[in-house]
Amino acid sequence: MTATAQTTTQPGYRVLNPATGEVVEEFPTATDAEIQDALARSQEAFQSWKEVPIAERAKIVAKVADLFTERADELAAIITEEMGKPLSQSKGEAEFCTDIFNYFATEGPALAADQEIKAIGGGRALIQRLPVGPLLGIMPWNYPYYQVARFAAPNLVLGNTIILKHAESCPRSALAIQQIMDDAGIPAGAYINVFATHEQIADIIADPRIQGVSLTGSERAGAIIGELAGKNLKKAVLELGGSDPYVVLDAEDVPAAAAAAWEFRMENTGQACNSNKRMIVMDDIYDGFVAELAKQAKDLKPGNPAEETEGTFAPLSSRAAAEALAEQLKDAVNKGATLHAGGQLHDGPAAYIAPAVLTGVTPDMRAYTEELFGPVAVVYKVSSDEEALKLANDTQYGLGGAVFSTDEERARRIAHQLEVGMANVNGLGEGADIPFGGVKRSGFGRELGPLGMDEFVNKRLFYISG
C-alpha cells in the first residue's frame, strides 16, 4: 500500500497534524555514530537470534501480535494525528497487524521447514530455508503499522534482524513499534528503529553487514533504492505505485455496485497503492454507476479524523499531497475531462481536498498515466470485454486488478489476462495469508502469505551422498 517517498531535501522527523497544519513534535535525525552502532548491534544480535530455535522465535513474535491489539487504541490515536487516517481505520490497521504477526508465528515454522526434493542421481537432497542476516526496511506513511508488520513478521520468525527506517512524518508510530518489539521480548539489536537521513540510508545499504533491503514507496524512490541495492549486490523487495483497474462488466444492482466501488476507493482517503484508481465500466450501466458515485461524493465536508462525523472526509497526509492531487485534477479538467463532484482544495495549512468523481480522461492527461494518490474515482466507459481488457492493461503499473460480473466465467476470462501481480474476481483477496506484490513498474518481490517467507532467505541445498 504505497506512499510517495520524499526525494527532495529532507525536513527531518516530525509530527505534523494534516487536519490542522500544526507541527506537534520534532525529532532529531540519527548521527553517523548512531547508525554505525545500529549496524554493529544488528549484526551481533543476528549471531545469537539465528541460533534460537524457530519455534521459540515464533513464540516471541506471537507476543508482538498480542501487544498490537492490546495497544490498538493508543496506536490508532498516534497515526490519526500523524497522517490523518480516520480513527476507526487506524485502530483496524493496528489490529490487522495482530493477524499478520500471528500468521507468521503460527505458519512460519512449517513454511521454513526443510523441503526434500528428488535426487535423480541418488543420495538425498534437501532445500533448507535459512536466515541471511541484518536487513534494512524503508517504510511509508500511509499504513504506518501494517507496512512494517508485513516486512518484520516473517523475517523475525526466519531469524533475520531488522534495521527499520520509517517515514519522516511517522516518528511516534515508529517509536511505538520499537516499544512493542522490546516489550514482547525481541532481543536487543534484533529490531532497531533509526531516524536516518537519505545519505545514511545509502551508507547502510552499502555496508557489507546488510544483506537485503525492502522498500515500500514511490516508483521514483524504488528506482533509487533498487539502483543502490544492485550496485552493492543486495537483494531487494520493492512495493511501489499502482493504478489498479476495477472492471465492472454488469451488475444486478448498479447503485449498490457503485457504492461498493466508492467505499473501496475512499479507504484511507484514497491513499492506498492497491486502491481501485481506474474504474472501467460497461456502457449500459455506466451512467447509473457514475451518478451514484457523484451522489456519494457530493456535499461531503472536511471533518476531524479523530471524530469521524457522518458526511465528512479526512485530510490527506500532507498539504503538499493535497496540492499535488489538485494539480492533477486541474490538468485533466483543462484538457476536457468532466469533474462530476468534489475536487476542491480547501484552504491551508490543513490538507483537505474534496473527494472527486472524474470522467472523460484521455491519454494526453496526467490522470491517465499517473497514480492519483487520493480520493478521486476515475471512471472509464467501455463497450466490450476486449476494450475493457485493453484499457485495464494500458498502464505502466501492474500491482492488482479486479473484474466483476454476474457471470463468473466471463469475469474469470478477463481477470486471467490482467498484467498484474494480484488478479481478483468478484471481490478482493486480502489478508495475512494472501501474498501481496506486483509486476511492471509496481515493483518486484512478494510480502504476506507463504511467499512472504521466501524473499530474504538462503534457500540452501543440503545434499547427502549415498
Place of cell 456519494: 296
Enclosing H/E stretch for 332:
helix 319-334
| Amino acid residing at 261 | A
| Amino acid residing at 319 | R
* C-alpha span between 240 and 445 (Å, rounded): 11
* C-alpha span between 357 and 362 (Å, rounded): 15
Cell numbers of 239, please?
Answer: 512495493
**Catalytic site includes residue 25:** no
Q: How many CB atoms lie within 10 A of CB 304?
A: 16
For helices 54-70 and 87-111, angle between their N-to-C axes, nearest 10 degrees? 170
Q: Quick one: the chain helix, strand, coil %, rounded to 5? A: 40, 20, 35
* C-alpha span between 217 and 138 (Å, rounded): 8
The β-bridge relationship of strands 115-117 and 22-27 is unpaired
**Catalytic site includes residue 273:** yes
* C-alpha span between 83 and 78 (Å, rounded): 9
Collapsing DSSP to helix, strand or coil, 219 comes out as helix
For 283-355, strand residue ranges (E) read 301-302, 312-313, 338-341
User: CA distances (Å), 202 to each of 151, 232, 341, in order?
Assistant: 20, 10, 44
* C-alpha span between 433 and 310 (Å, rounded): 33
* C-alpha span between 423 and 414 (Å, rounded): 10
Contact 141, 82 (CB under 8 A): yes
Cell numbers of 396, please?
Answer: 505502466
| Amino acid residing at 452 | G
The active-site residue out of 82, 168, 273, 371 is 273
* C-alpha span between 377 and 70 (Å, rounded): 36
* DSSP one-letter code for 293: H
The active-site residue out of 239, 292, 447, 455 is 239
* C-alpha span between 197 and 142 (Å, rounded): 19
Collapsing DSSP to helix, strand or coil, 252 comes out as coil
* C-alpha span between 347 and 97 (Å, rounded): 35
Place of cell 481478483: 424
Catalytic residue list? 239, 273
